[in-house]
Chains A and B, each alone.
Chain A
């Protein structure tokens, strides 16, 4: 029980208090998010990574397609900041090129697949009946289909199309489990009194879902999105073998790491340069997710102005 509200004063009507403008949830969440320095730092890191990833290749003396065949396997130096690989590609520019792809794919997949699972899961759980059964049938179907098999069968159709198709495919095979979890949570949330309260005041089902159900699962959804960003980046390199999206000579962080793994002990920069970049990017995403979760969760004390004394509920 928090005790910051002065109860004695609150119990009496306080008509003489100047009427302040009530702050809506959106504004309040923004304010609470801004107070979290770590989360702000995370956002800045992501933005900086983006800017560097897109601008550096424009000004760089090298390109990821240029191979300096005289300088293969160069360790990091002033000319090649991250060294070079077996055919003399500048690792820094390659990493930046990879970062462009990976970050975009990761963020898009993370956000879209989580949103998809939230909508499908909450709809199925909330409406129940035939909607529920139809949706869960699709979910189960997708879960039992071996995704990589489908992709390899379908790959000739998509040959040469944009890497965006990759995002679609990654989303398609990532959202189902979360959707099931979301459905389960919706079933419990649906019986809460505030949901009945919304129904009894005439709130439409869809608005109830987005106003009451989804926000109350936000912690789960944010953690899920954060994890999805990471796994999308790594899966993408796996899918590259099937001839999707990022194809050599083009690179992504995933493919760079995949090829660098073999030489992690002999030429460590080939592995560590993209790996560290990936870790930094994912950490920032996680920190932002954490901040968002705290901002949305009223019981989290981290987002409050000051640490509030909490009294243990005893007796």
Chain B
């Protein structure tokens, strides 16, 4: 850290006062890079009070993480930092590493995205927490006291059976438990400020809900100010008090959460809100895609950095970068846009009623749709025959896939069986989207791989387009592959980095023996179909952005004009603003080409937006399946209810009122699933049942039973519950 540019003022070191815990003013951070200086953070100013939660929202590359690393003094040597960072009145910039480390970990602590990197694999979790206590306790704490305290802390963050778990090593913990252990470490020394950088990004929704809950507890227990950094507007809606939206290294909007969500005054914020699929919207809303990508931070053009992507941009926007200025003098809501007044006007004009969405929030969404000109893809509903009359394209019947667990190297002994998929049945009809949802480890990926492999399953049957895969020979299998194509989750990993995309798209056609002239004609057509340009064909995948790569993946999947597209988490690796564009594309393609989708995802909001029917998986079984409106509107299985209630909704008012069902514990091991109902170990309904009913859950496996029109649930005591 270079101290040369910083004027150290003789600040008071008196610790906690009434003022803000953290004051950041005019923070600038830049790094050298081959292409020039990267200005990662430019003129950032914010403050956090005690007990306050500040959410910092931005896409990757917006400078949100860099700014908090600067606060922690964790930036690399080459970074040039200027401005001021005051922690409880004490200037942090310019302090030596030794001085900083006295503050770091004791008075400021940090929770990172990847909990594994924060834990040392060779020490037990308890030892690490005790260590954190001892380092900063300066001998005031005995070893035994520290050990006791770590048990208390683990208990506080909701780790079951904490006294035994302190002796566990980090790898014996699941992802969610690790993150909780890290939070326990973070609050061990009763800090005044906690910085949480994407603390829930790598986690499943139910675990995310648990971790957010733990952070809330942490806030209550320590009274610390919290800075939570995220790309997900949903996560911060219910948790933070104030919000700061960052774009291209700058704060572009800040204010009270309610106001930012209800009256966004910067087109970028508006676009972000509009690009999120809403779990609570009963009617299908158009998603707002923000075209283009964030600008390069090396040589930013003059003017508003958002101008190239802004639908409201006018010539004036290009003359100077708009300052973050008050839009409303009373509440401290500020935005960096010269046309925020016009946004307010548009918002006042649009009608603000969306089925299921609060009126206060609907206005902002409708305004986003209006400003960005998003359109809903109209499905040719009239032309569509009723579901029962349409042919089945994919039928999976009591599919079973077990993996043997072996021990030993030379003589492999079978020590158990993992029931990855245990009797899964569903069907996908023509022009229909079935969403397959569930947390990681529920077997959805295994199911997918079984279908894609077209091999004879270990149990049950799979038929694609009416043909049972176990009867296929090599030739027929290849023929079926033409009609069933796949789009993968990670668009970079699924494209051969050494192939120009023209070749990537040509490959399936070459495999299936199309002639060269046809292929040459088809490549520009396909690129055009997915919204890319024909001359992109001779570029390599690395030259494209994430969203564009996913479009290439889709183009490749469409090359053979398949009937069924299997989509494996196709948007979960993309930034929100990009995600909307890809979802819209999938919507459009389905309507235009009459495709059927099997859409595997963990994000239920996306599924609600895109799917017609949805199947919820838990531990290798489908627990609830049916039409989207039935399952989301009236979920009957306790697991579905928990899952839905865990999904954050980007509406601060509603989010605060929602009752969240927090699932206890972790997914049981699929090698040793619970008897009877597999969900019973975590079922909140089960806990409230009478003893005889409980016994039924333990002894009898609940069959999938119809609960109304196209709605089947596997629970003995299925009852509807409003959770969204």
Seen from chain A, the residues whose Cβ lies within 8 Å of a Cβ on chain B are 1-5, 7-15, 17-25, 28, 192-194, 196-198, 200-204, 207, 211-212, 215-216, 218, 296-299, 309-315
Contact = CB atoms under 8 A, between A and B. Distances in A.
Contacts of A200: 452, 481, 485-486
A310 B35 contact: yes
A15 B481 contact: no
Given A24-B502, A218-B498, A314-B297, A8 B308 contact: yes
B499 interface: yes
The 9 A-B residue pairs with the shortest CB-CB distance in the complex, in nearest-first order: A298-B540, A22-B502, A22-B537, A193-B494, A8-B292, A202-B481, A23-B538, A312-B33, A311-B296
A192 B498 CA distance: 13
Contacts of B531: 10-13
Interface in B282-302: 289, 291-293, 296-299
Contact of A194 (B31, B493, B535): B493
B538 A28 contact: yes
Among A12, A196, A218, chain B packs the most CB atoms within 10 A around the CB of A196
A298 B543 CA distance: 9
Contacts of A201: 481, 485, 507-508, 511-512, 556, 560
Given A5-B544, A22-B524, A193 B488 contact: yes
Nearest to B488: A193
B-side interface size class: 35 or more
Contacts of B309: 8
B297 A212 contact: no
27 contacts: A1-B545, A5-B539, A5-B548, A7-B291, A8-B291, A8-B309, A11-B289, A11-B547, A15-B528, A22-B523, A22-B538, A23-B500, A23-B502, A24-B502, A28-B538, A193-B489, A201-B481, A202-B481, A202-B512, A207-B511, A216-B497, A296-B498, A298-B542, A309-B299, A311-B33, A311-B38, A315-B60
Interface in B209-256: none
A303 B523 CA distance: 25
Given A4-B543, A215-B498, A315 B528 contact: no
A23 to B, nearest CB: 4
Interface stretch (B62-70, B333-341, B676-684): B62-70
Interface in B559-604: 560, 581
A196 B481 CA distance: 13
A314 B63 contact: yes
Contacts of A3: 293, 296
Interface of B: 31, 33-36, 38, 40, 58, 60-66, 289, 291-293, 296-299, 308-309, 452, 477-478, 481-482, 485-486, 488-490, 493-500, 502-503, 506-508, 511-512, 520, 523-524, 528, 531-545, 547-548, 556, 560, 581
B507 A211 contact: yes
A24 B498 CA distance: 12
A12 B530 CA distance: 9
Among B66, B508, B511, B533, chain A packs the most CB atoms within 10 A around the CB of B533
Given A8-B291, A200-B485, A315-B40, 6 more contacts: A5-B543, A10-B536, A14-B533, A19-B534, A25-B503, A309-B35
Contacts of A7: 291-293, 545, 548
Contact of A315 (B66, B478, B497, B548): B66
B26 to A, nearest CB: 18
A246 to B, nearest CB: 39
A17 B535 contact: yes
Contacts of A216: 496-498
Contacts of A18: 534
Among B34, B490, B500, chain A packs the most CB atoms within 10 A around the CB of B500
Contact of A20 (B297, B477, B512, B534): B534
Nearest to B58: A315
Contact of B494 (A197, A310, A312): A197
Nearest to B501: A22
Contact of A312 (B38, B524, B545): B38
A20 B533 CA distance: 10
A4 B35 CA distance: 13
A315 B75 CA distance: 11
A96 B299 CA distance: 56
Contact of B297 (A194, A198, A299, A311): A311
B512 to A, nearest CB: 7
A11 B291 contact: yes
A309 B547 CA distance: 20
Contact of B548 (A10, A19, A197): A10
Given A11-B292, A201-B508, A216-B496, A17 B482 contact: no
Contacts of B506: 22, 24
A202 to B, nearest CB: 4
B286 to A, nearest CB: 16
Among A13, A22, A23, A309, chain B packs the most CB atoms within 10 A around the CB of A22
Contacts of A24: 500, 502-503, 506
Given A314-B31, A315-B60, A17 B533 contact: yes
A312 B39 CA distance: 10
Contacts of A1: 545
Contacts of A28: 500, 538
Given A10-B536, A11-B289, A311-B298, A198 B507 contact: yes
Contacts of A14: 528, 533-534
A202 B539 contact: no
A230 to B, nearest CB: 26
B210 to A, nearest CB: 27
B410 to A, nearest CB: 14
A184 to B, nearest CB: 18
A181 to B, nearest CB: 18
A20 B31 contact: no
B63 A315 contact: yes
B481 A23 contact: no
A108 B487 CA distance: 43
Nearest to B524: A19
Nearest to B556: A197
Contact of A197 (B486, B533, B534): B486
B511 A17 contact: no
A25 B556 contact: no
A11 B532 CA distance: 6
Contacts of B498: 25, 215-216, 218, 296-298
Contacts of B537: 20, 22-23
B31 A312 contact: yes
A192 B58 CA distance: 30
Contacts of A193: 488-490, 493-494
B481 A314 contact: no
Nearest to B290: A11
A301 to B, nearest CB: 9
Contacts of B63: 314-315
Contacts of A192: 493
Given A10-B548, A24-B503, A315 B61 contact: yes
B287 to A, nearest CB: 14
A309 B511 contact: no
A266 B66 CA distance: 64
A20 B33 contact: no
A314 B38 contact: yes
B581 to A, nearest CB: 6
Contacts of A314: 31, 38, 40, 61, 63, 65-66, 297
A9 B66 CA distance: 30
Contacts of B495: 194
B296 A20 contact: no
A20 B535 contact: yes
A105 B636 CA distance: 76
A202 B291 contact: no
A34 to B, nearest CB: 15
B35 A311 contact: yes
Contacts of B507: 198, 201, 203, 211
Among A4, A9, A18, A201, chain B packs the most CB atoms within 10 A around the CB of A201
Contacts of A197: 486, 488, 494, 556
